[in-house]
A and B are shown apart, each in its own frame.
Chain A
Amino acid sequence: MEHFSPISASIGGALIGLSAALLWLGNGRIAGISGIFGQLLPPARTVVWRLVFLASLVGGAFLAAVLFPALGNAPQLATPPAWFTGGAPIWIAASGLLTGLGTKIGNGCTSGHGICGLARLSVRSFTAVAIFFGVAMLVVMVTGIAR
């Protein structure tokens, strides 16, 4: 387990939990990223806090990278598996399209269903988490993208 980093993972997880806790107890909102950006269009009154949250999300990642450069290199997108001859842009676009579509019609992603939904003991979220983790693992195994 050469990449395993339980301490930084736990600290990062605690920060994400605190973020979700603050948004819930402060504003009564669920820190689900797909939901926060997915409802930018059509622009409603809630667009202001959504944009503030998303801009801060980018700012937080940027700030942390400046403060703790030793934790990681500049992340790159994964290259498509060797058998795929369509080119990286097509593969990446398909991944983004499916993620956008799936999180919209399934009402949530890793944060909304994963962290917040499970913490609320939502049966819908337990179902969604089991499905998207299971399917993602299967896709990674079948495509061999991580190897």
Chain B
Amino acid sequence: MSKDLNLRYLAVAAVSGLLFGVGLYVSQMVDPMKVLHFLDFTLIPSGKWDPSLAFVMAVGLVVMFVAVRFGKTQSRPLFDVQFHEPEFKKIDRPLVIGAALFGIGWGMSGICPGPAISLIAFWPQYLPIYLLALFAGSYGGSFVIPSGRDKRLAMAQ
């Protein structure tokens, strides 16, 4: 049976998504203002700066780092034939320009993609506009830069 319809494979995706959503709410990273209060370093002198986001990243990173180390001792994940690790290693222009554009978009609202999707649970005003624009930008981007390793490699030459 195709792994894409394998129940255990889909159960892993479901539990993983659930944990991510709970984590975003518990850490309050679903709240764009909390993220903005981290990104705004001009708040430091007044004592209103909120370093919480750094704690979320640091702890999440440590947990994932251990998992990646453990994964290296395994030949494959539990429910698939291979780890889908990005093979493209080069720092190319699309990476730099893309990260910069994302930085602008993130700084304008304090919303990055994970919280954007999670916010559907709360449906705040203007969220549908944000989501439509997010999908449009993402879909549009797939025409700007070809996806896939070979095409990226060819572009980077």
Residues of A within 8 A of B (CB): 1-6, 8-31, 33-34, 37-39, 41, 45-46, 48-50, 52-65, 68, 71-72, 74-78, 88-89, 91-107, 109-111, 113-116, 118-120, 122-124, 127-129, 131-141, 143, 145-147
Contact = CB atoms under 8 A, between A and B. Distances in A.
17 contacts: A1-B48, A2-B48, A4-B51, A10-B55, A13-B59, A15-B20, A27-B77, A34-B138, A45-B4, A60-B118, A96-B105, A96-B131, A96-B132, A99-B134, A120-B68, A128-B99, A132-B106
Interface in B105-147: 105-114, 116-122, 124-127, 129-142, 144-145, 147
B139 to A, nearest CB: 6
Contacts of A88: 126
A144 B98 CA distance: 23
B31 A24 contact: no
Contact of A120 (B85, B110, B120, B132): B85
A31 B16 contact: yes
Nearest to B25: A64
Contacts of B144: 101, 104-105
Contacts of B80: 27-29
Contacts of B33: 75-76, 78, 146
Nearest to B91: A127
B138 A101 contact: yes
A99 B88 contact: no
Question: Main SS of chain B's interface residues?
Answer: helix
Q: Name the 9 nearest CB pairs between A and B, nearest first.
A: A106-B98, A60-B21, A12-B27, A100-B137, A17-B63, A135-B103, A139-B107, A104-B141, A56-B17
A107 B45 CA distance: 35
B28 A33 contact: no
A70 to B, nearest CB: 11
A12 to B, nearest CB: 2
B27 A57 contact: no
A38 B100 contact: no
Contacts of A92: 109, 126, 129-130, 133
Contacts of B62: 17
B23 A106 contact: no
Given A20-B67, A96-B129, A12 B104 contact: no
